[in-house]
Amino acid sequence: MTQEQRKRLLHAITIGLIANVILAVLKLTFGIWGNAQALISDGLNSFSDVFISILLLVVMKVATKKPDHDHPYGHEKFEGLAYFVLGIIFFITSIYIGITSITSIFNYIKDPTEAIKPHLYTVIISIFSLIIKFILFKYFLIISKKYNNPTLRADSKNHLLDAWATLFSVVGLSLAQINLIVFDYIAALIIGLFIFRLAYQVIKDSISYLVDQAPTKEEVEQIHKIILEVKGVIKVDDLKVRRHMTRKYVDVEIGVESSLSLKEAHRIAEKVHHQVEDEFPDVIHCMVHVNPAT
């Protein structure tokens, strides 16, 4: 990753941080003042996003560093660790919102007269938040695709789900204005479910990044095919491919004619090495071991 790319990624995260701070303060302040459970839940979601943005800002500075003596394979997996922590934060937030919402619904069923109608300005704040979240989603999606960055891609999904959650907040608070106050609590519960779904997906993806999971069977077969096309390769004895965040490492054992000299066998191995890395730009390194095939 170039210095310019690193600066763009950090710049995007900083923008997200500032936006999340503003939204969290607005939602929580007006949600509490306006007695809006959905807006408070949405504010808690934005408050967790503030911690997420701070975490991303710190981790991305480490993850984008060049390889060094202690980390010869680079620092990208720090990003995978951040990705996992993101999922945990989403999970905790969703559970808290879910419990609070369900409690409010049961209390409403017991005694509807105790419920307080949310103020009209909470609807306005929700609509404003919806617009900002959709803009953030589009911005982070563009940046994540441009630089093939999984963490920013996860955050773009988070912004999209935030937008959907805020939409339910708008609907719930709007219905509450005509004294259907229970929909405020239902909207808050739906927001919690959105966040829970995101938490599951992020944790699942992050684990695959951290445990060197193999790519798809189709990708491995494509690499296998390219190796066999190299002149001098009789067979592939073993092929292992592991993911390194968004990129891959390849380890392969090839079989060549046993009568070849060491120099000739090495030349074939070099061809395999370069062919794989040229055909698959996301392969960081292809390690080739030569075996006698006959």
Taking only the tens place, the pLDDT of each residue in 151-173 is: 677 778 778 878 887 888 888 88
Class of domain 3-210: mainly alpha
pLDDT at 36: 81
Give the span between the Cα atoms of 279 and 289, in whole angstroms: 19
pLDDT tens for 12-56 read 888 888 988 998 898 888 888 888 877 887 888 788 778 777 777
Who's near 268: CB < 8 A, 6+ residues apart? 230, 231, 232, 233, 254, 256, 260, 290
Among 3.40.50.1440, 3.40.50.300, 3.30.70.1350, 3.40.640.10, name the CATH number for the domain at 217-292: 3.30.70.1350
What is the side-by-side order of every strand in the sheet holding 283-292?
A: 235-244, 247-256, 283-292
3-210 and 217-292 have identical folds = no
Model pLDDT for residues 191-240, shown as the tens digit of each residue: 788 788 878 887 887 787 777 778 888 889 999 999 999 998 899 899 99
Give the pLDDT score at 183: 81
* Terminal Cα-to-Cα distance of the chain (whole angstroms): 43
Region of 74 please: left (phi>0), alpha (psi -120 to 50) or beta.
left
Q: What residue spans define the domains of the chain? A: 3-210, 217-292
Rounded CA-CA distance 117/134 in Å is 27
